[in-house]
Structure 1
Amino acid sequence: MEARRVSPRRRRRPYKPRTSFQFFTFPAATNVLAAALATHKYLAATALLVVGTVAAIVLGYVVPWLILLSRKTGSVLADVDGTWFLWSVAIHSGAIGAAILEHHATSGKDVLAVVAVISWSMGIVLYLCTAVLVMMRLITLPVGPRDIGPPYWILMGLSALVVVAGTHIVGMDSTPIVDDIRGLVSGLLVMFWGIAAWLLPVMVAVGIWRHGMCRVPLTYTPALWSIVFPLGMFAASSMALGDTDRVPLTTWIGRELMWAAVAVWAATYLAMAWSGVKRLRAIRG
């Protein structure tokens, strides 16, 4: 029998592990929006938190499984990059949303406390596992200046995000699970803030090496927004840690760094706008 020809449109497209973890930006954004609406739109915030949490859970099972299935030969380490930290970012965003909603809840405080604590704890586990994979990737495989791009800044931002989520948990109302973990969380906040502070000059040095010494062109790509998030999150975590543990130095660092984060945001936004203008000119000919 003659073999059936498969139409090019019906051929299964290869799965791309390098872009798969970007789907975790959806639950992260949804949970952040839930936290922002918690004060005035509690029901809408609750619905968004449910959607974001369910999406993070589903993606947490589906994405790693698809990555494993997509690897016919070779190691998955070749596809590991900074975007993999978005998995932990999505989980921590759920902890922040649940902790903020708990302050405004009239019922179900115990449930929100459990969601916040478990999300924060699981987020740290994913943080550590991903950090190990990234380190193995950098050590065992060849790495060039084009391989270490802006998404690696997410590691620094995630360290700061752990602090922000933890401060919200420390400030939650008294429930059995929060009371049991409050002391541990408070101690870990300082450690993760220190990690973020240590990583900041490292990432700046990597950028100088990449663009200054290796001459990789600094042009606009959506990945540049991966630098804006960590800077803003580190500033927010510094101020949050200063308020929670009464450390004036971190509060001052956060306030000063916030101006740098705003400047980087403005520069990235202008670069995006100019890139759009150039594309329109190219289309019009």
Structure 2
Amino acid sequence: MTDNSKPETRIMADLADMSPAYFGMVMATGIVSLASYLLDYPRIAHALFGFNIAAYAILWVLTVLRAVRFPRRFFGDMVDHLRGPGFFTTVAATNILGSQFVVLAADYRTGSILWGVAILLWIALTYTIFTGITIKEHKPTLDRGISGGWLLAVVASQSIAVLGALLAAHVDQPYRLEINFLALSMWLWGGMLYIWMMSLIFYRYTLFPFSPGDLSPPYWINMGAMAISTLAGSLLIINAPDAPYLLSLLPFIKGFTVFYWATGTWWIPMLLILGFWRYVSRRFPLTYDPLYWGAVFPLGMYAASTRRMIDAMEFGFLQFLPRVFLYIAMFMWAITLIGLVFDLLQRVGILGKEKARA
């Protein structure tokens, strides 16, 4: 029988159980960094940029090590209805880090390489995950098989549109036209995918029993998916003068960008009310979970996307919103990081004993 009291054994057990959605930390850190830069906090932006490069590298090492040491668990997670969508955080994290290289460092070569890697990851994961969960013999019921985490597939698609639009502004023709066209296509596909998935998620919300444990942090992606769609649409509007077909579609792009922003904004009070119900009314324990990074990301994305929408569409009356949400996102990022540090210290036995059994 394995002795789980040994540090090496505990570390391997933690690696085997590592959440595929852990790249959400890179997503959250990256977007808070970008929002900080857009709102004139360059020192914070660059500090988080350095942190994010290190976090991205460490997470890839751990991910590869998990795939090598525990291949059945790793690939089994890909076709799991609840854990599988978490792999899409690798796509979004790669694109957001690439966006940091473009915006903060003007490093278009690295940004382009990361964009290419993200596209390959998106193709591989999209057709592996959705084919796998389609053809698997035993499937969960709707209320046990779907969560807000499914919308990470939307975030991944829209992140390709975001980085593509950023790169398109710095390349020569004819590639500028081609990259903008790909960004437009991914933006439209992401919107369609959101409609499909959100219909199922809302159906599950309203017509199945709902307990505090069901309201996992990825439900904030309901809002975050719309926020990143707003960001991608705003960047396409900014790029329109350099792409004739974007210019001809400008009223459509503007209309859908506002549509995405309004939908994301509608979710904020709803999620806050449900959060109050979960943690205050029903007293659900608030302990660190890597999925909480998926709740930080939408807050930072809402700040960044609203800032870009103001630039693209001259909505000056919304100027107060990005800064408010940036401060909230910074606070939540710091709290989640503290939770991660304490969790790691407990796991290696430096800070008290391991978490008590539930």
SS in 2 for 1:105: coil
Using the TM superposition, name which of 12-21 and 166-175 deviates more: 12-21
Offset at residue 71 of structure 1 (A): 4.1
Distance 1:32 1:105 in 2: 19
1:1-285 paired onto structure 2 within 5 Å:
15-38=79-102, 40-72=106-138, 75-76=141-142, 78-107=144-173, 108-172=175-239, 173-281=241-349
Using the TM superposition, name which of 41-50 and 20-29 deviates more: 41-50
Check whether the contact 1:38–1:104 (CA below 8 A) recurs between aligned residues: no
User: How large is the Cα RMSD of the aligned pairs?
Assistant: 2.3
Offset at residue 282 of structure 1 (A): 6.8
The 1:149/1:131 distance shift into structure 2, 3 A limit, reads same
The 1:268/1:13 distance shift into structure 2, 3 A limit, reads closer
- Other-structure match for 2:10: none
Distance 1:214 1:161 in 2: 31
TM-score (norm 2): 0.72
- Other-structure match for 1:5: none
Offset at residue 219 of structure 1 (A): 0.7
Distance 1:73 1:88 in 2: 22
Distance 2:203 2:210 in 1: 11
Check whether the contact 2:296–2:329 (CA below 8 A) recurs between aligned residues: yes
Check whether the contact 1:53–1:94 (CA below 8 A) recurs between aligned residues: yes
SS in 1 for 2:150: helix
**Matching residue's letter, 2:232:** A
Check whether the contact 1:243–1:251 (CA below 8 A) recurs between aligned residues: no
Give unpaired runs (5+ residues) of structure 2: 1-70, 354-358
The 1:264/1:13 distance shift into structure 2, 3 A limit, reads closer
**Matching residue's letter, 2:90:** F
- Other-structure match for 1:6: none
**Matching residue's letter, 1:24:** F
SS in 2 for 1:189: helix
Check whether the contact 1:30–1:51 (CA below 8 A) recurs between aligned residues: yes
**Matching residue's letter, 2:163:** G
Check whether the contact 2:160–2:186 (CA below 8 A) recurs between aligned residues: yes
User: Alpha-carbon deviations, 1:23-81, whole Å to 9, x = none?
Assistant: 11111111222222236322222222122112212222221111122242564553100
**Matching residue's letter, 2:216:** G
The 1:263/1:74 distance shift into structure 2, 3 A limit, reads closer
Using the TM superposition, name which of 38-47 and 255-264 deviates more: 38-47
Using the TM superposition, name which of 50-59 and 223-232 deviates more: 50-59
The 1:23/1:13 distance shift into structure 2, 3 A limit, reads closer
Distance 2:110 2:72 in 1: 40
**How many residues are paired up?**
277
User: Alpha-carbon deviations, 1:245-277, whole Å to 9, x = none?
Assistant: 222232211112211111111111112112222
TM-score (norm 1): 0.90
Offset at residue 180 of structure 1 (A): 2.6
Distance 1:283 1:266 in 2: 19
Distance 1:236 1:74 in 2: 36
The 1:66/1:283 distance shift into structure 2, 3 A limit, reads farther
Distance 2:179 2:140 in 1: 42
Identity of aligned residues (%): 29
Check whether the contact 1:240–1:251 (CA below 8 A) recurs between aligned residues: no
Check whether the contact 2:226–2:263 (CA below 8 A) recurs between aligned residues: yes
SS in 2 for 1:16: coil
Distance 1:192 1:73 in 2: 32
Check whether the contact 1:241–1:251 (CA below 8 A) recurs between aligned residues: no
User: Alpha-carbon deviations, 1:3-25, whole Å to 9, x = none?
Assistant: xxxxxx99996842210011111
Between structure 1 and structure 2, the one with the greater Rg is: 1
Structure with greater contact order relative to length (CA < 8 Å, sep ≥ 6): 2
